[in-house]
Chain A
Amino acid sequence: MLDILKRIVKTGIVSEPQLKLADLLDERDALHAEIAGILGRALAIRQVDAGSCNGCELEINALNNPVYNIEGAGIRFVASPRHADLLLVTGPVAKNMEIALKRTYDATPDPKFVVAVGDCGCDGGIFGESYASCGRVSNVIPVDAEVPGCPPAPAQILRGILSALAKPRT
């Protein structure tokens, strides 16, 4: 137990200040007001791998590490689409995942947002479209924001999530 405490003290607080993350965006305050206006205080995300190579998942998982500490910013990943405000979808959408992705989308309560992550989620990437691949996420469900990259870094993914929320709703 003593060793654990010693290690914790030695590690210290490594989370980068929220301000620094928000620096990624110019209109931080407006954005926070937007999030609060739409969703209350917290944002619940359901991640769906619709066919990725698992590279994007590595970086999405990294958002939960103590450096990014997104839970400290009121953003958390949830286990069911029924609890989610936003779907974070990686692609390309495999044909074998098309129905599961649509069902996940339908199970997410309104108002809902969708962010497509990675080059493949944005445009099909190196896999493109084929008998087995539907290509980009927006070919299957409506998408609010896209985050290119192979894989995109955690900060880019976070920026994409916030930009989806900032987008005016029709």
Chain B
Amino acid sequence: MSDPRPTVAVMPSWLVIERVVRSHWSLSARSERDAGAVLLALWADDRRDLGEGYLLRAAYLGASRLRVIELALDEAAPAFPSLAEIYPAAGCMERTVGDLMGLQADAADSRAWLRHAGWPADYLPLRHDTERVARFAAQAEDYAFVRVEGDGVHEIAVGPVHAGTIEPGHFRFSVVGEKVLRLEQRLGYVHKGIEQRFSQMDLQDGQRLAARVSGDTAVAYSWAYCLALEQLCGTSVPQRAAQLRAVLLERERIANHLGDLGALGNDAGFGFGLTQFSLLKERLLRANAHVYGARYPMDGIVPGGVAADLSIAQIERLREQGMVLEAAVVELRAIYDEHAGVQDRFVTTGRMSPELAQRLGVVGLAARASGSPRDLRSDLALAPYAALGVQVAGSVQGDVAARVAVRFDEVMESLRLCDLLLQNLAGGAVRTDLGTAATQQLGIGLVEGWRGPVLVALEAVADGRIRRCHPHDPSWQNWPALEHAIIGNIVPDFPLINKSFNLSYSGQDL
């Protein structure tokens, strides 16, 4: 009675997990890169309690599969080969492994990334034997920015508190006149210890924290977390639940894209756009409040399914709103497209070429605007997307105009998907029992959020608690791309270019 059979996690067909020897850590990265895969996440686990030292993991996303490569690190000498030469985005992830787990990469850049001066370097929050109640006095920090020298070069320092209602971060511009020679970002200001917090929670509650890794991507994180947990439990949710999850995800995508399209118009000096799109977004949120009981249904997706079913009247309301929204977006798109002043600001601004995007390993919306037609909804086509035939938006121009066009296309596609889902909802339950989660196994959830692929890697311990949870935001890949996209542009175009990427601070600061 007290010892039920251990659960065996069902490994999905798209997931491969392999352990390699040290010399193959970099080799495998190289072969993944040559095969066109992107480095999606890199994180470490403390396994000294299991007598396994530390475990370093890298997840590579190919066209139709995710490969997780594991490298065991000796407890005594926990240094590892850097992948930053192969995947530039690895740099900040490796520095984070150093900050939080105390494992150092043999990279040229060994500056702390998420650790500022808020806690001492020898406090390693993700090690199991680290004191959880430790508190430290804040200190001012002197970060070694890269200096650009030359005739007439000067620096502009911006942040962490920005001029608008946005998240905090520091941007250091090196400029000549108006032209940007170099941008260096300093992030980590909103690091609030999410990963340590996860390992103090039980598996059920973890969903709520996952939904708050980056509030604007709450649905995608919730879903990814639940997928990881359901994988560990060997459970799959009823079809109706998967469909309702997708409706929530697509509505999150529409809401964010509408907000961005308005803000991008505004940053190009077209206040009309902000007024119109923010009104459309407000109406969408009010419909959410009416149907889901919350303008932002952050906890609409729960382990095992969704929090609530939709009535026929609610389904009709959502479908009707979708039609009204579609007509308005078509009309506004024509206005944006034909507005010479707006197009003048959008076209050629902040260009990231397809070659650059590929070299940097950019993902998601920004990659699709630069010639990489990757979208998990189509590539992995997990339930319920397989049946929907998702049309992936794309452009090869890579400028602000391209990122605007991709948003317009994606809004239209998401409206189509929502309608299709709501029209063809399966009958039956919207939630199922989870059962017991397997231990000593890795569960991976992958969801195409509105910015790009969101990954949640989850491990459980026997008493229903979280051993380790690593949430990964696509912003990790795309922040370094913004540093490149701004080069050669003028400083006043930075807000526009930045908004066209609209990356998450909280999602990468953790």
Interface residues of chain A, those whose CB is within 8 Å of chain B, are 3-4, 7-8, 11, 14, 47-62, 64-67, 77, 79-81, 92, 94-100, 104, 125-133, 150-151, 153
A137: shortest Cβ distance to chain B, in Å?
13
Among candidates B136, B160, B218, residue contacting A97 with C-beta atoms closer than 8 Å: B160
Known: A51-B192, A61-B259, A94-B191. A132 touches B125 (CB 8 A): yes
Distance between Cα atoms of A65 and B353 in the complex (Å): 35
Name which of B61-69, B79-87, B209-217, B485-493 contacts chain A.
Answer: B209-217
Residues of B within 8 A of A79 (CB): 163-164
Provide the main secondary structure of the chain B interface.
loop
Minimum distance in angstroms from A16 CB to a CB of chain B: 11
Chain A binding surface SS class = mixed
Q: Contacts of A56 on B, CB cut-off 8 Å?
A: 215
How many angstroms between the C-alpha atoms of A18 and B160 in the bound complex? 34
- Contact partners of B289 in chain A: CB under 8 A: 153
Which of B88-96, B193-201, B308-316 has 4 or more CB atoms under 8 Å from chain A? B193-201
Question: Given the complex, which residues of B lie within 8 Å of A66, measured CB to CB?
Answer: 275, 278-279
Looking at B193, B285, B509, which has the most chain A CB atoms within 10 Å of its CB? B193
Contact residues in A for B125 (Cβ distance below 8 Å): 130-132
Most chain A CB atoms below 10 A, which of B116, B164, B192: B192
Write the chain B residue with the least CB distance to A54.
Answer: B215
Q: Which residue of B lies closest to A48 (CB)?
A: B161
What are 9 A-B pairs with beta-carbon distances under 8 A? Answer: A50-B168, A51-B190, A55-B212, A58-B296, A62-B281, A66-B275, A96-B188, A131-B119, A151-B215
Q: Beyond the given A7-B331, A55-B296, A126-B212, could you list 14 further A-B residue pairs with CB under 8 A, ordered by the A residue number?
A: A3-B331, A51-B190, A52-B506, A55-B218, A59-B295, A65-B275, A77-B164, A77-B165, A79-B163, A97-B160, A127-B192, A131-B125, A132-B119, A132-B191
Closest beta carbon of chain B to A105's beta carbon, Å: 11
Q: Are A133 and B168 in contact (CB under 8 A)?
A: no
Q: Which residue of B164, B215, B504 contacts A58 across the interface (Cβ within 8 Å)?
A: B215
With contacts A3-B331, A150-B298, A151-B296 taken as known, whether A14 is within 8 angstroms of B134 at the C-beta atoms is no
**A100 partner, pick from B188, B189, B272, beta carbons under 8 A:** B189
B208 at the interface (CB under 8 A from A): yes
Q: Is the CB of B166 within 8 A of A92?
A: no
The answer to whether the Cβ of B3 comes within 8 Å of any Cβ in the partner chain is no
The minimal Cβ–Cβ distance linking A70 to chain B, given in whole angstroms, is: 12
Is A132 a contact of B118 with CB atoms below 8 Å? yes
Partner of B190, one of A52, A59, A67: A52
Give chain B's interface residue range (CB within 8 Å of chain A): 35 or more
Give CA–CA (A59, B160) in the complex, Å. Answer: 21
What residues of chain A lie closer than 8 Å to B167, measured between beta carbons?
A: 49, 52, 54, 57
A130 touches B166 (CB 8 A): no
Q: Contact at B119–A95, with CB atoms within 8 Å? A: yes
> What 0/1 readout, one digit per residue, does chain B (106-150) give for beta carbons within 8 Å of chain A?
000000001010110001010000001011101110000000000
Which listed residue (A100, A131, A151) contacts B134, Cβ 8 A? Answer: A131
**In the complex, what residues of B have CB within 8 A of residue A58's CB?**
215-216, 259, 296
Take A55-B296, A62-B278 as given contacts and tell me if A127 and B194 are in contact as well, using a CB distance cutoff of 8 Å: yes
Pick from A58, A67, A80 the residue with the most CB of B within 10 Å: A58
Q: How many Å from the CB of A170 to the closest CB on chain B?
A: 28
B27: interface (CB < 8 Å): no
The complex places the Cα of A132 from the Cα of B140 at a distance, in Å, of 15
B77 interface residue per 8 A CB criterion:
no
Across the interface, do B119 and A99 meet the contact criterion of CB distance under 8 Å? no
Q: Which residues of B lie under 8 Å from residue A104 when comparing CB positions?
A: 161
Choose among B118, B119, B332, B338 the residue with the greatest number of A CB atoms under 10 Å from its CB: B118
Check B163 against A80 for contact (C-beta < 8 Å): yes
Name the A residues within 8 Å of B16 (CB-CB).
none
Question: Chain A contacts of B160 at CB under 8 A?
Answer: 97, 100
User: 9 shortest A-B CB distances, which residue pairs?
Assistant: A55-B215, A95-B118, A132-B193, A79-B163, A65-B278, A53-B215, A98-B138, A130-B193, A53-B212
B165/A96 in contact, CB under 8 A: no
Q: How far, in whole Å, are A104 and B159 apart by their CA atoms in the complex? A: 11
Judging by beta carbons under 8 Å apart, are A54 and B505 in contact? yes
A97 & B190 in contact (Cβ 8 Å cutoff): yes
Please measure, in the bound complex, the distance between the C-alpha atom of A14 and the C-alpha atom of B282, giving whole angstroms: 11
Which of A3, A54, A130 touches B196 (beta carbons < 8 Å)? A130
- B276 interface residue (CB < 8 Å to A): yes
B76 contacts partner chain A, Cβ-Cβ < 8 Å? no
Q: Contacts A54-B505, A67-B279 hold; do A132 and B138 have CB atoms under 8 A apart?
A: no
The interface residues of chain A lying within 8 Å CB-to-CB of B134 are 131
A49 to B506, CA, bound (A): 10
Query: Are the C-beta atoms of A131 and B278 separated by less than 8 Å?
Result: no
Contacting B189 at CB < 8 Å: which of A77, A97, A125? A97
Is the Cβ of A95 less than 8 Å from the Cβ of B136?
A: yes
Q: Indicate if the CB atoms of B136 and A131 lie closer than 8 Å.
A: yes
Measured between beta carbons, the chain A residues less than 8 angstroms from B276 are 7, 11
CB distance from B466 to the nearest CB of A (A): 13
A7 and B272 CA atoms in complex are apart in Å by: 10
Residue B335 is within 8 A (CB to CB) of chain A in the complex = yes
Report Cα–Cα, A129/B125, bound state, in Å.
Answer: 13
For the complex, give the distance between the alpha carbons of A169 and B354 in Å: 59
| Contacting pair A54 B504 (CB below 8 A) | yes
Asked if residues B189 and A94 are in contact (CB atoms below 8 Å), the reply is yes
Residue of B nearest to A80 (CB): B163
Hey, which chain A residues are within 8 Å of B213, CB to CB? 53
